[in-house]
């Protein structure tokens, strides 16, 4: 049986992950034709088709899927070892990849990590802004950020922010022509601003709690976003009522551009956590990032918790 070039296997892994020859070639710094030729040679050596190609997409065959899952973690382990070797230099280096939501970048990640980036010029940061439940192992992220109650139990979870409280808000101009809701069920008669989460595909159900009584409300969405980034802006413009963690509205509330309602019904929950696989061997650069972000001195394995689809809890995400 012929020996296989690791570059061939690496090319296969990149195409399989990207689902596209052009994107895979760009990430490997080669041409689309070159990587396509490499895959054809690999399939010829193995005498089996690994990828199914159409004019619009590339997908793995059963054999390709088996090979992908068999060698993917091994390539990750090799890259982790190479990253560890950079720690033998005078300064840590390499890229730390984190998937998260919009708001946590602004309020936590950039403020805490900017001093680290200035101190260690060989450390790079890549942030994937995504509200879906990303598989950080399969998608080759070093870590993700989500709210505490949504993290799988087999992950290390480190708190990086305080507990979060929800806030329902709208502009004074909106309430000039609409009644102020006194009960969460009143929201069904109002224009609301909502988010559609990519993992579930459905609109967010607003969750309220008062004196131990929980209440879920399906609101009428006048405007729908797929991230939280512009929901506060839409509320300021008078579109309707929005419901998010209160720190996303804080500047507008303080300036009087938004008014809180149903405050006694707005629950609090576990705040932002950085999470990563328990079996991961951290690079020196990643260890620096963890130390810069941690809210407490000791990381703990995440206990099982119900997944709540509330206001950016998918991303990270998390929000």
Q: Do 227 and 159 fall into the same domain?
A: no
Residues 218 and 134 in one domain: no
Q: How many residues does the chain have?
A: 319
pLDDT digits (tens, 9 = 90+) for 166-221: 999 999 999 999 999 999 999 999 999 999 877 666 788 999 999 989 999 999 99
For the chain, how many structural domains are there in total? 3
Last residue of a domain, one of 225, 247, 269: 269
Q: Is residue 235 part of a domain?
A: yes
**Is there a domain that residue 308 lies in?**
no
Is 310 within a domain?
Answer: no
Residue 275, pLDDT above cutoff 80 = yes
Checking if the pLDDT of 1 tops 90, the result is no
Residues 28 and 149 placed together within one structural domain of the fold: no
CATH code of the domain covering residue 194:
3.40.190.290
CATH number of the domain to which 117 belongs = 3.40.190.10
Residue 187 CB coordination number (10 Å): 22
Report the chain's terminal Cα–Cα distance, integer Å: 48
Q: What is the pLDDT of residues 22-41, one digit of tens each?
A: 888 888 888 989 999 999 99
Is 177 contained in some domain? yes
* DSSP summary character for residue 318: B
Find the domain containing 226 and state its range: 164-269
Q: Give the whole-angstrom CA distance, residue 115 versus residue 124.
A: 12
Residue 171 inside a domain? The answer is yes
Residues 218 and 264 in one domain: yes
Verify that 14 and 59 share a domain, yes or no.
yes
Tally the C-alpha atoms within 13 A of residue 13's C-alpha that lie toward its C-beta.
Answer: 19
Given a cut of 90, is residue 257 above it in pLDDT? yes
Contact 199, 314 (CB under 8 A): yes
CATH code for position 28? 1.10.10.10
pLDDT digits (tens, 9 = 90+) for 113-139: 999 999 999 899 999 988 767 788 888
Judgement on whether residues 191 and 262 belong to the same structural domain of the protein: yes
Tell me whether residue 230 is in a domain.
Answer: yes
């Amino acid at each position: 049986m012929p020996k296989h070039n690791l570059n061939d296997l690496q090319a296969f892994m990149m195409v399989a992950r990207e689902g596209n020859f052009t994107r895979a070639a760009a990430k490997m710094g080669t041409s689309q034709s070159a990587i396509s030729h490499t895959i054809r040679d690999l399939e010829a050596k193995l005498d089996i088709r690994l990828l199914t190609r159409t004019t619009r997409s590339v997908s793995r065959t059963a054999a390709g899927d088996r090979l992908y899952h068999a060698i993917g973690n091994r390539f990750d382990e090799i890259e982790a070892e190479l990253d560890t070797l950079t720690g033998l230099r005078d300064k840590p280096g390499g890229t730390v990849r984190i998937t998260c939501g919009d708001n946590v970048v602004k309020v936590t990640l950039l403020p805490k990590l900017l001093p680290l980036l200035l101190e260690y010029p060989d450390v790079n940061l890549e942030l994937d802004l995504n509200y879906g439940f990303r598989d950080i192992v399969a998608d080759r992220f070093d870590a993700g950020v989500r709210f505490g109650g949504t993290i799988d139990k087999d992950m290390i979870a480190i708190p990086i922010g305080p507990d979060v409280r929800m806030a329902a808000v709208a502009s004074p101009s909106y309430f000039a022509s609409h009644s102020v809701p006194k009960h969460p069920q009143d929201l069904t008669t109002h224009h609301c601003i909502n988010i559609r989460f990519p993992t579930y595909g459905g609109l967010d159900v607003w969750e309220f709690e008062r004196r131990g009584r929980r209440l879920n409300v399906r609101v009428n969405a006048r405007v729908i976003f797929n991230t939280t980034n512009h929901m506060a802006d839409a509320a300021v413009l008078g579109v309707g009522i929005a419901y998010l963690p209160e720190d996303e509205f804080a500047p507008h509330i303080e300036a009087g551009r938004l008014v809180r309602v149903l405050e006694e019904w707005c629950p609090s929950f576990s705040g932002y956590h950085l999470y990563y696989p328990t079996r991961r061997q951290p690079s020196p650069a990643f260890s620096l990032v963890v130390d810069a972000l941690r809210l407490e001195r000791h990381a703990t394995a995440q206990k099982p918790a119900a997944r709540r689809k509330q206001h950016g809890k998918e991303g990270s995400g998390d929000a």
